[in-house]
Amino acid sequence: MKAETRLRAVIALLLLFSIGVSGRLAAQGGQAPPPEYNELVAAYKLQDPSLRLKEFERIKAAYPNTPYREAIEASIQDAHVALATTLDDVLALQRDFLAGGQGPVRLQKPVAMAVQLLNHPLLESFDHSKVLDIALAYRAAALRAASDPASYEGIPQDQRDFFKTNILSAVELLTARAYLNVGDTDKAMASIEAYKKSGGATGGNYFYVLAGILQATGKSAEAIDAYLAAAAEEYNDAAAKARALYVQVHGSDQGFEAAREAKLKALPFQPEPFTAPTVWKGKAVLAELFTGSECPPCVGADLAFDALIETIPSKYLAVLVYHLPIPRPDPMMNPAGAARAGAYDVNSTPTVVIDGTNKSLGGGGRGASGGKFAQYRGAIEPLLSSAPGVSLKARATLAGDTVKVSYDFDKTVPGAEYLLVLVQGEQEHKGSNGVAFHKMVVRDLAVLDPASPKTAVFDLAASEKTTDAYLSEFERIYTRIPGFKWEVRRNALPRQGLRVVLFVQEKATGKVLNAVVAEVK
């Protein structure tokens, strides 16, 4: 079982705890973590449960006052379960762990125990009918706890529905897995459909279970597609199962890698088609995303922005994506991204800013991308029918290493900044969050003097050199990873696929008055 799967079990166990503590464990924010943070991260990555157990017990003893104590104890129990060789041993360990606990833990524990059971490395050797009975008993316990107001003690009132929905949707997906394990595909499909209907995220775990059901019912082509969707998140052995089934259907694996890459680049949801505003007065909305290729919760926001780019023409929407070293260093970072993060006081990823004033935090995995897309588009579309605060035009051409930009505007707005941004249409880079293709990556930025001649230049070679120096300085002063060195630098700029974005923003309010996008020709 992958470390990521074990971590999900811990997160499922202590969902509220993870919001506060493992959120820091993910190191999304800018505050330095406690000294045991790096040791915990390393322990989570250990594949051997005996080594993982030993390391977590050492950390628990070394840091008796750690804020991660509950997560450490859950991880110790998880390792003990993984090492158990019989179903009876698993159940004995789980009974001990289930005892006690107040508030949300009463609801979380049965779900986490079902995750442990169904993820057990020896699951195939266990009595499948008994496993189903146990999983259904955990489901019933979770449902009972969900109906008890005491299960929500300590949870802010406005978060209780979210908490309950996530737990109950997880119950349905686990139930689908339990039914699939005994070969009851009808009940498995009914449960996975209930999961989706309840608002469960269609991430790697969902597609993996769905693929198993489809394969068991002889729907091989659909199963391959679902396995590939799970493989896009590197979920368990989805890639190996997709390949094996592909060979079974096609007689060889020729074409498999192309299909896998196409799935990796494709959106995991079908975005609603865009309808242009009936009355458009020339206003383009500016959508800015602060993200990181080492940030797992950024995936949902990244893919949501990809969908915005695909569905809304640049005539109506200008997109800028900045890469930041949160939670870990990102080789696509540069001074332009740092400057804009400072302007908005951004210290966590993902952060989205719509037209300079609508700021939203938080993301999720691939399965959350559809919901994030709906959220962002819901903020964008009402703004499109408004009148622009200034009319803008821009044209850009490439000559050697120089991007020459000519622009125009109908008026100078007092108290506003005129900013010109150089953007790379797509950059291939796979960080730890699995996103391999990054769109509309900001590479350079210039603040324009509206009183000067309306031309500007980006020197690509100079920009590359400046960013390289910036990365070198970061490498020199960065202390959160001892001895950190870049494995790869993404300061090189292509000489095609570039764009420029011109926008005008009020200094006092942050409101973006208008924006325009021009391809570099």
Question: What local confidence, expressed as pLDDT, does residue 362 receive?
Answer: 85
Place of tokens 């590359």: 464
Single-letter residue type at 127: D
Convert the pLDDT of each residue in 416-429 to its tens digit.
999 999 999 999 99
Q: pTM above 0.85?
A: no
Contact at 8 Å (CB) between 470 and 449? Answer: no
- Give the pLDDT confidence score for residue 5 in this predicted structure: 42
Integer-rounded Cα Rg, in Å, for the chain is 25
Is beta strand 498-506 parallel, antiparallel or unpaired with respect to 512-519? antiparallel
User: Does the domain made of 285-519 have the CATH classification 1.10.490.10?
Assistant: no
96 CA to centre of own chain: 34
Name the helix (H) or strand (E) containing 338. helix 335-344
Q: Distance between CA atoms of 374 and 369, rounded to whole angstroms? A: 9
Indicate the DSSP class of residue 313. -
What confidence tens digit (pLDDT) does each residue in 456-498 have? Answer: 999 999 999 999 999 999 999 998 888 899 999 999 999 999 9
- Which residue ranges of the chain lie beneath pLDDT 50? 1-30
What is the 3-state secondary structure of 180-203?
Answer: HHCCCHHHHHHHHHHHHHCCCCCC
Residue 16 has what pLDDT?
A: 30
For the record, the structure tokens of 309 come out as: 């780019």
CA distances to 20, 29, 435 from 155, in Å: 12, 22, 33
CA–CA distances in Å: residue 267 to residues 198, 242, 301, 419 = 21, 18, 12, 31
80/77 Cα distance (integer angstroms): 5
Q: What is the structure's pLDDT at 32?
A: 56
Angle at 381 between CA 380 and CA 385, to 5 degrees: 115
Q: What is the pLDDT of residue 202?
A: 79
The set of long-range contacts for 216-224, using a CB threshold of 8 Å and a minimum separation of 24, is 216/180, 216/183, 216/185, 217/185, 217/189, 220/245, 220/248, 220/249, 221/249, 224/249, 224/259
Strand, coil or helix: 489: coil
| Residue 18, pLDDT score | 34
Return the pLDDT at 434.
Answer: 85
- Cβ of 377: how many Cβ atoms within 10 Å? 20
Q: What is the pLDDT of residue 199?
A: 76
